Amino acid sequence: MNTVAGVKSTAKAGGKLTGKVALVTGSSRGIGRGIAERLAADGAFVVVHYAGNAAAADETLARITAAGGRAVAIRAELGVPGDAEALWTAFDDAVAAAGPAAGIGPGLDILVNNAGISTYGRIHEVSEADFDRVFAVNAKAPFFVIRQGLERLRDGGRIVNISSGVTRIAFPSTTAYSMTKGALNTLTLTLAQDLGPRGITVNAVAPGLVHTDAADWLNDPAAAKQGAAYSAFDRLGEPADIADIVAFLASDDARWITGQYIDGTGGALLGVS
């Protein structure tokens, strides 16, 4: 795994995020990849985090570099003891190694907590082990990643937590997963109040059904048609739809927005038609 790929590339001149350092957890593919690519396109130096799929992380780096962006990749498994410490150690090492070529110093400006896992089942179908695992990755890990990252996050920084539309729309088959995202929403609200004096904004973005390789069941035409019907726009979401929202929240344009839950479901199930 080449952890310094792309550091000699030149970011787009005049990008809104030029000079910023961003970390996007779970960004080797799917929505996370889309976010990493967009932040890099806006000029940020992006640290791409992955848990185990080095090939996918390499592909993300290659796509960012090909578009003229700058990025490095780090590996850290989340949801296990010591996960946040391992992630930040890898982050510090990667940024230090890239610094001379990339023109960046220690520290962080943008943290996107995107990494997460799913678990399916109604309440009577979810095992205790599955419940503990989904909370460890989706709720506990972001909490301690943020906690240990605050000493690195510069004043005026940005935290964006990737929530889910299932916190607004009831899906009994994702009860435990939905609970983790509800916890993330509450963390977003309380941290926004806590970190406001430092000029740090904290917001949550809630995707709906997004067509990614992780949601391969949407490759079935019938499933895709049903999923698209949830949205007011009668289509599935794409990673770029979510990435554009995150890029706005990461920019100075969103400096007066904090503690908010941004619905990125494409108007899913707004009412009865």
Tens-place pLDDT, residues 26-71? 999 999 999 999 999 999 999 999 999 999 999 999 999 999 999 9
In one-letter notation, the amino acid at residue 128 is E
Residue 93's CB: how many other CB atoms inside 10 A? 13
Rounded-to-integer distance, Cα 28 and Cα 167, Å = 25
Confidence band of 273 (pLDDT split at 50, 70, 90): low
Q: What is the dihedral of CA 92, 95, 97, 98, to 10 degrees?
A: 180
Band (pLDDT 50/70/90 cuts) for residue 217 is: confident
Among 9-18, 180-189, 199-208, name the one with the lowest average pLDDT: 9-18
pLDDT at 218: 83
What is the chain's Cα-based Rg?
18
Of the candidates 63, 70, 88, the residue with the CA atom closest to the CA atom of residue 78: 88
Amino acid identity, residue 119? T
Give the chain's end-to-end CA distance (angstroms, integer): 50
Report residue 19's pLDDT band, with 50, 70 and 90 as the boundaries.
very high
| pLDDT category of residue 214 using cuts at 50, 70 and 90 | confident
CA atoms within 13 A on the CB side of 36: 33
| Residue 258 confidence (pLDDT) above 70 | yes
Q: Which residues of 80-90 are buried (b: 16+ CB within 10 A; e: fewer)?
A: eeebbebbbeb
Name residues whose C-beta falls within 8 Å of residue 178's C-beta, 6 or more positions apart in sequence: 164, 166, 167, 170, 171
Q: Give the SS3 label for residue 253.
A: helix
Question: What CATH number was assigned to the domain covering residues 21-264?
Answer: 3.40.50.720
Cβ pair 116, 162 in contact under 8 A: yes
Per-residue pLDDT, 7: 33
pLDDT of 272 higher than 90: no
147-176 pLDDT per residue, tens: 999 999 999 999 999 999 999 999 999 999
**What's the mean per-residue pLDDT of the chain?**
93
Q: What is the pLDDT of residue 3?
A: 42
The pLDDT of residue 1 is above 50: no
pLDDT value at position 192? 98
Residue 122 CA to residue 130 CA, distance in Å, equals: 12
- Domain residue spans of the chain: 21-264
Q: How far from the centroid of its chain's Cα atoms is residue 120's Cα?
A: 21
pLDDT computed for residue 213 by the predictor = 81
User: Cβ atoms within 10 A of the Cβ of 209, count?
Assistant: 22
* Per-residue pLDDT tens digits for 69-101: 999 999 999 999 999 999 999 999 999 999 877
For residue 73, what are the β-bridge partners? Answer: 48
pLDDT value, residue 8: 33
Separation between Cα atoms, residue 179 and residue 134, nearest integer Å: 10
Catalytic positions, please?
177
Q: How confident is the model at residue 2 (pLDDT cuts 50, 70, 90)?
A: very low
